[in-house]
Amino acid sequence: MTRTTAARPARPKTARKAPKRAALGPAGLAKLAGPLESLVAAAGLDARVGFDPVAFPRRYPDPRDVEVSGLLAASLAYGRVDLFKPKIESILAGLGPRPSEAIRAMTIPQAKRLLEGFVYRFNLATDVAVLLFGMKRALSRHGSLESLFLSHWQGGDGLRPALGGFLAELREVPMAPLREALGPERGLQHMLPVPLGPGASKRMLMFLRWMVRGPDPVDLGIWTRVPAAALLLPLDTHTGRMAQHLGLTTRTDLSWKTAEQVTASLRQIDPLDPVRFDFALCHHGMSGACPATPQASHCRACELLPVCRTGPTVLRRSRAGAD
């Protein structure tokens, strides 16, 4: 029998504990700028994109296909990359070369053929069907996911209410026919959180980064009416750890508040595009260059060593151990 309980943790996840220290002031943040630029330059962004779910929307030339494939990919991009990528791949293959057209025309029998038996951790077929039919409704009512988002966007620092409204409208899908065709939902609140909780909403902020920033070798920049300055860093275990190493936050949890604090620090380095460092910081952790427990060999090779709060301690301990 299918389990119907959502496996969503109620509280924000906690990043690896670190001794609480004051966040950097303006002078300290100014010193970060050079090493962060070096990290971005050395990150080999083109090569790393293949390891990142942004590779899915980057396949499509048409902005409507970029939006829908991006939202689908971001929604399922949790857990291990090697496990979620085949799941996204199989749905996109079933949607064909124009996923936005396939979604616009989708019927429940087609959704059943596409999704029957789908399972990925917290999510079942009906969760994904809600997302697909939510996007269908948005494309029909607003013409694009960008227009849906903009219908909730008041400008300024209104990212959270706009994202909340965007997700709530995507969830306005009649559930009974989907349940009848595909069974019960399981992790809808994990996939499309309504209302937004205290967590960092990493996957949705990542989707916004893909759509709004750029275009550059990573992000697509197809949403031109939301400024990059308004974005928040999509905080996850890797960027949370890096933010602590660099003194971008005093907080240790992976919450919306921490994402705001990290972004506020980065905004002092680049007021117009504070989250442009996100991909390089995330992949510095993800690639193993700065693992959860860094060794002296990692720190000696690291562009961030001159501004890292942890690296000097790692090197000191290593020297002490060698004496």
Binding site for ligand SF4 (CB under 6 A): 245, 290, 294, 298-299, 302, 304-305, 308, 310-311, 314
- What's the min distance (Å) between Cβ of 202 and ligand SF4? 20
Which is nearer to ligand SF4, 108 or 305 (by Cβ)? 305
Residue with the CB atom nearest ligand SF4 in the bound state: 311
Q: List all residues 6 or more positions away from 253 whose beta carbon is below 8 Å from its beta carbon.
A: 12, 13, 14, 15
Q: What is the DSSP letter of 278?
A: H
Query: Which residues are paired to 253 by β-bridges?
Result: 14
CB 294 within 8 A of CB 310: yes
Minimum distance from residue 20 beta carbon to ligand SF4 (Å): 17
Looking at the Cβ atoms of 70 and 294, the one nearer to ligand SF4 is 294
Whose Cβ is closer to ligand SF4: residue 275's or residue 281's? 281
Q: What single letter denotes the amino acid at residue 289?
A: A
Residue where the block lists tokens 């399981």: 186
Q: Alpha helix locations (H) across the chain?
A: 26-42, 45-49, 63-76, 81-95, 99-104, 108-115, 125-142, 145-150, 159-170, 175-182, 188-191, 202-212, 237-246, 256-267, 278-286, 296-300, 311-322
Q: For ligand SF4, which is the closer residue by CB, 11 or 300? A: 300
Nearest-approach distance from CB 45 to ligand SF4, in angstroms = 18
**Shortest Cβ 312–ligand SF4 spacing (Å):** 8
The minimum distance between CB 271 and ligand SF4, in angstroms, equals 24
Measured from the CB atom, the residue of 275 and 302 that comes closer to ligand SF4 is 302
